[in-house]
């Protein structure tokens, strides 16, 4: 059974004026919520990201799995979510939603930073690829393949689970497909990277990690960061509705990750890992 996408909390009704031709009407429109989430280890905030509320623990664990050498569920000693509303009720005015974790001493915890970076300004492509951590396990076992038909089916199945996108039209989605071709989990978020962290975190907490022979499906474009997250989780491939960046293609090719883009309108492009795509 597919684990449902975003829960119903992250939507507010906001007044808006709808114009159609010469007619305008004031009404209330469902709008996706964007709010900060802090990720803390042993009381120290490592990062704060703007996200869509819901599945915050998944996001925090997925982010940590991408940013550290966290490798097994038993390395997470504690995980709990502290809501901003409850903290404000206790008199903490500047509170934000926070996921607090404790991890085993063997985990190399990164230094705190004020925000999540999403670019590599001042660093050349070759240096970025060289600096990207190598996958900790194989991405595909011998004989693993995907077909164009499967890719289109997975995109369609993910779209059916995008309940909040259907309501607001403002959310990205990510999904993980099992080696048997079954959609395991779908998550939605205002941020593409957050949606990916959420599905990876969900798999990690379910002790389905690393993700050899699994496929990541995403609704948006594929950047270097999305490929790096997929490699860290040892995913076999990425199927995207939109296209990739050049650095994403270079990184995928360097590590043998299958990268398929523009999976829509009965077509797709294979950018990397073509030996594993049965055309």
The domain segmentation of the chain, as residue ranges, is 135-276
> Average of pLDDT values for 207-223?
96
Domain spanning 135-276, CATH class: alpha beta
- Under the banding of pLDDT at 50, 70 and 90, the label for residue 117 is very low
Output the pLDDT for position 87: 63
Q: Is 37 exposed, middle or buried (0-12, 13-18, 19+ CB in 10 A)?
A: buried
Options 19, 121, 124, 279, the catalytic residue: 121
Q: What is the mean pLDDT of the chain?
A: 86
From the number of C-beta atoms within 10 Å of its C-beta (0-12, 13-18, 19+), residue 122 rates as: exposed
Query: Quick one: which of 49, 52, 51 has its CA closest to 30?
Result: 52
Reported as a single tens digit per residue, the pLDDT across 13-72 is 665 555 556 666 676 667 888 889 999 999 999 999 999 999 999 999 999 999 999 999
pTM, two decimals, is 0.86
Tens-digit pLDDT profile for residues 173-186: 999 999 999 999 99
234 is catalytic: no
Q: Report how far residue 116's alpha carbon sits from residue 110's, in angstroms, rounded to the nearest whole number.
A: 12
Of residues 85 and 176, the one with the higher pLDDT is 176
- End-to-end C-alpha distance for the chain, whole angstroms: 29
Give the residue, 211 or 167, on which the prediction is more confident.
Answer: 211
Q: What is the rounded CA–CA span in Å between residue 92 and residue 96?
A: 9
Beta bridge partners of 44: 41
Task: Please tell me the predicted confidence (pLDDT) of residue 88.
Answer: 60
Task: Give CA–CA dist 27/47, Å, rounded.
Answer: 37
Q: How confident is the model at residue 93 (pLDDT cuts 50, 70, 90)?
A: low
Buried b (16+ CB within 10 A) or exposed e, 154-174: bbebbbebbbbbebbebbbbb
């Amino acid at each position: 059974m597919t684990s449902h996408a975003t829960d119903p909390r992250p939507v507010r009704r906001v007044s808006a004026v709808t114009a159609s031709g010469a007619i305008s009407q004031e009404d209330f429109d469902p709008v996706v919520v964007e709010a900060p989430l802090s990720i803390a280890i042993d009381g120290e905030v490592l990062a704060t990201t703007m996200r869509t509320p819901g599945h915050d623990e998944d996001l925090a664990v997925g982010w940590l799995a991408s940013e550290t050498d966290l490798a097994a569920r038993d390395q997470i000693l504690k995980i709990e979510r502290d809501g901003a509303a409850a903290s404000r009720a206790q008199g903490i005015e500047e509170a934000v939603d926070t996921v607090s974790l404790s991890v085993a001493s063997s985990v190399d915890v990164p230094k705190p930073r004020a925000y999540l970076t999403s670019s590599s300004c001042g660093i050349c492509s070759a240096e970025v690829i060289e600096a990207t951590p190598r996958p900790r396990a194989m991405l595909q076992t011998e004989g693993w393949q995907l077909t164009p038909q499967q890719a289109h089916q997975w995109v369609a199945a993910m779209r059916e689970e995008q309940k909040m996108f259907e309501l607001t039209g403002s959310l990205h989605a990510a999904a993980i497909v099992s080696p048997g071709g079954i959609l395991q989990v779908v998550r939605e978020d205002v941020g593409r990277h957050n949606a990916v962290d959420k599905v990876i975190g969900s798999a990690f907490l379910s002790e389905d990690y690393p993700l050899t022979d699994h496929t990541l499906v995403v609704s948006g474009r594929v950047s270097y960061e999305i490929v790096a997250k997929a490699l860290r989780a040892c995913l076999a491939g990425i199927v995207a509705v939109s296209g990739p960046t050049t650095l994403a293609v270079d990184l995928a090719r360097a590590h043998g990750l299958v990268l398929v883009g523009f999976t829509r309108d009965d077509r797709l492009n294979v950018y990397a890992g073509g030996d594993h795509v049965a055309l």
